Amino acid sequence: MFSAFFTILRRDLLLAMRRRSDVFTTLFFFVIVVSLFPLGIGPELETLRLIAPGVFWVAALLASMLALEKLFLVDYQDGALEQMLLAPQPLSLLVLGKVAAHWLITGLPLVLLSPLLGLQYDLPGETIGVLLLTLLLGTPALSLIGAIGAALTLGLRGGGVLVSLLVLPLYIPVLIFGAGAVEAEASGLGGIGHLTLLGAIGLAALVAAPLATSAALRVSAE
């Protein structure tokens, strides 16, 4: 059964590698948004250090959301999605494969680049470590939750804007605990509580989101 999961995963990664611009678009969007804040707020390192967790997390949220539109759209347009709906394997497993590939393409590069951007915000080494960890734990949850929104708005006109309206409120817990962990660590309180909750949200999303996404796909693609 899991071979279906890995097949989808490999297929989507291969497709993404054939068209690399999508990967870079999301990544550079993240970099640009993060770089815009110092320009808007001012270059005082004291302030930047204070707002860094929030800025990084909001930028990650927006970047993750921006990439959602493409998640099912290409498959929907060329008919591959219909085949997935008809496949004997459980749809939620295939969805999980697609989401995993999506995260590897759009989420992971941004997580890996964040320490470098953290240096721009003059964050100390430990805080950068926690930031990396929260993004690593949190961005998969963003992809999972976002997939529901992507499935619901599949093929609609203006779907991209609509997705933000549906998905951003649901992202709030991830934002709170992600940015909260970094903040708590930086202020010496220890971010472990936040991190565990972030992990819990990720696991809950892992269980529930593929089911909701496949239900939404069946509605949207019929």
Partner 1 sequence: MSSRILNWFKFSSPASFYPLAGTIGRVSTLIAVALLAVGLYMSFFVAPTDYKQGEGYRIIFIHVPAAWMSMFIYVVMAFWAAMGLVFRTRLSFMMARALAPTGALMTFIALWTGAFWGKPMWGTWWVWDARLTSELILFFLYVGYIALQGAIPDVRRGDRAGAILLLVGVVNIPIIYFSVKWWNTLHQGASVSIREGSSMSAIMLETMLIMTFAFWAYAIAVAMARVRLIILERERETRWVAELPEVKL
* CB atoms closer than 10 angstroms to residue 102: 26
CA-nearest of 176, 166, 131, 114 to 145 is 166
**Contacting residue, 9, 66, 152, 195, with partner 1 by CB under 8 A:** 152
Return d(Cα 13, Cα 76) in angstroms, integer: 17
Handedness of CA 127, 128, 134, 137 (dihedral sign): negative
**Contacting residue, 111, 141, 197, 202, with partner 1 by CB under 8 A:** 197
Return d(Cα 179, Cα 51) in angstroms, integer: 10
Q: Which is nearer to partner 1, 204 or 206 (CB)?
A: 204
Q: Contacts with partner 1 in 159-188 (CB under 8 A)?
A: 159, 162, 165-166, 168-170, 172-173, 176-177, 180, 183-184, 187
Tell me which stretch binds partner 1 (CB under 8 A): 77-85, 112-120, 130-138, 152-160. Answer: 152-160
Q: Which is nearer to partner 1, 38 or 159 (CB)?
A: 159
- SS3 for 87? coil
Binding mask 41-80 vs partner 1 (x if CB under 8 A, - otherwise)? ----------------------------------------
Q: At its nearest, how many Å lie between partner 1 and the CB of residue 196?
A: 12
How many amino acids of this chain bind partner 1 (CB under 8 A)? Answer: 34
Q: At its nearest, how many Å lie between partner 1 and the CB of residue 115?
A: 24
Helices within 42-90 (DSSP H only): 45-68, 70-78, 80-86
Return d(Cα 165, Cα 62) in angstroms, integer: 12
The answer to whether residue 141 forms part of the interface with partner 1 (CB under 8 A) is: no
Token reading at 49:
């250090």
Q: At its nearest, how many Å lie between partner 1 and the CB of residue 5?
A: 23
| DSSP category for residue 79 | T
Return d(Cα 64, Cα 90) in angstroms, integer: 25
Largest CA distance in the chain: 58
What are the residues binding partner 1 (CB under 8 A)? Answer: 148, 152-153, 156-159, 162, 165-166, 168-170, 172-173, 176-177, 180, 183-184, 187, 189, 193-194, 197, 201, 204, 208, 212, 215-216, 219-220, 222
